């Protein structure tokens, strides 16, 4: 597929997904039938990146009025995974707020993020036990970068460097969790700790979100070492099971590869983008949404909200790939 064709395909899929989201959008910025934070936190980025700036701002205003608490925290009532990935929604919303120019909201959310930073390691605490892991730390780093906290973003880049340096064997997978007093840990060997290269439907997004953060930081600083590290994360995914670029968990690999390709022009990076675009487009439903079943859990507790969550993510990511 040519570069122009894959961009067109990605943008068209994102536009269909955005239309599905917009059909649920109410005049006050809420979404039917959503009530909890997990249906909203990716939507401002999704609508903004797909060309609906005014609607994105409307959702951001609703989120700030409904979920933003004191000291930049968010009300996660009813979100089952909230305590395990504590800063993840803050990071998506801080990114969106920064891009929209909602400075007060962005700085409030970033202030909370920084309160969860481990200054010694550079990582961000994902839970009350002090766990640091790739997804939440990378996303927090990107939010800090977009909000102007460059030192915190540099700490994340270094954290990702140290995490890569400690990997026992990339051919067998990616260990993505660090525990206080233990360091890099494979825990019980489950997907919560390790991307197992020998098994299907793993958390392949860990390869992509780390690469996206590092590519963004490299672009900002013009320091090549972070781009090289981004590509090392991305291309380590090649050791994984054959479904690695065509499951819902693959989306962030396409995002990371799009951002590295923009800096390198390397056809190997573009090939990853093309593979993920094809994979996500094949999974899109006829109404423009994406089915959430089997994405993070086999049967989501609230399928309607989970569909909103993954559709907003893929609209955002495909928009970035299409750009």
Tokens at 180, concatenated: 């206080």
CA–CA dist 72, 41 (Å, integer):
14
The pLDDT mean for the chain works out to 95
Q: Could you tell me if 154 and 217 are in contact, meaning their C-beta atoms sit under 8 angstroms apart? A: yes
- Using pLDDT thresholds of 50, 70 and 90, give the confidence band for residue 6: confident
What are the pLDDT digits (tens) for 88-115? Answer: 999 999 999 999 999 999 999 999 999 9
* Mean pLDDT, residues 10-26: 98
Q: Which two tokens stand for residue 99?
A: 């891009």
Nearest to 93 by CA among 127, 70, 62: 62
Quickly state the pLDDT bin for 183 (edges 50, 70, 90). very high
Per-residue three-class SS string for the chain: CCHHHHHHHHHHHHHHHHHHHHHHECCCCCECCCCCHHHCCCHHHHHHHCCCHHHHHHHHHHHHHHHECHHHCECCCCCCCCCCCCCHHHHHHHHHHHHHCCHHHHHHHHHHHHHCECCCCCCEECCCCCCEEHHHHHHHHHHHHHCCCHHHHHHHHHHHHHHHHCCCCCCCEEECEEECCCEECCCCCCCCCEEECCCCCCCCHHHHHHHHHHHHHHHHHCCHHHHHHHHHHHHHHHHCCCCCCCCHHHHHHHHHHHHHHHHHCCHHHHHHHHHHHHHHHHHECCCCCECCCCCCCCCCCCHHHHHHHHHHHHHHHHHHHHC
User: What tens digit of pLDDT does each residue of 261-301 get?
Assistant: 999 999 999 999 999 999 999 999 999 999 876 555 555 55
Vertex 211 angle, CA 300 and 85, to 5°: 35
Amino acid 4: pLDDT: 75
Domains (ranges, CATH) in the chain? 1-76+90-115+284-323 (no CATH), 116-283 (1.50.10.20)
């Amino acid at each position: 597929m040519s570069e122009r064709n894959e961009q067109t395909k990605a943008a068209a899929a994102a536009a269909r997904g955005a239309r599905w989201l917009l059909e649920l959008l109410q005049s006050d910025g809420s979404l039917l039938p959503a009530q909890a934070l997990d249906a909203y936190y990716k939507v401002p980025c999704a609508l903004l990146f797909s060309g609906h700036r005014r609607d994105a701002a409307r959702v951001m205003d609703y989120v700030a009025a409904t979920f933003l608490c004191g000291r930049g925290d968010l009300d996660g009532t009813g979100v089952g995974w909230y305590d395990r990935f504590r800063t993840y929604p803050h990071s998506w919303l801080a990114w969106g707020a920064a891009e929209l120019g909602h400075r007060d909201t962005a700085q409030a959310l970033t202030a909370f993020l920084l309160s969860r930073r481990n200054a010694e390691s550079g990582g961000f605490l994902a839970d009350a036990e002090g766990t640091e892991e790739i997804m939440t730390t990378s996303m927090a780093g990107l939010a800090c970068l977009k909000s102007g906290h460059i030192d915190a973003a540099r700490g994340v880049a270094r954290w990702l460097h140290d995490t890569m340096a400690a990997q026992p064997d990339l051919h067998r997978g990616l260990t993505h969790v660090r525990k206080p007093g233990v360091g890099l840990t494979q825990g019980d060997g489950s997907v919560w700790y390790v991307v197992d290269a020998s098994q299907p439907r793993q958390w392949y997004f860990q390869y992509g979100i780390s690469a996206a953060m590092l590519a963004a930081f490299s672009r900002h600083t013009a320091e090549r070492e972070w781009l090289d590290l981004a590509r090392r994360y991305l291309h380590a995914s090649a050791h994984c099971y054959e479904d690695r670029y065509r499951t819902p968990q693959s989306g962030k690999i396409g995002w990371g590869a799009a951002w590295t390709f923009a800096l390198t022009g390397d056809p190997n990076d573009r090939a990853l983008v093309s593979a993920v675009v094809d994979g996500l487009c094949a999974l899109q439903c006829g109404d423009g949404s994406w089915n959430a079943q089997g994405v993070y859990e086999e049967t989501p507790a609230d399928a309607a909200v989970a569909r909103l969550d993954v559709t907003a993510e893929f609209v955002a990511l495909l928009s970035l790939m299409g750009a």
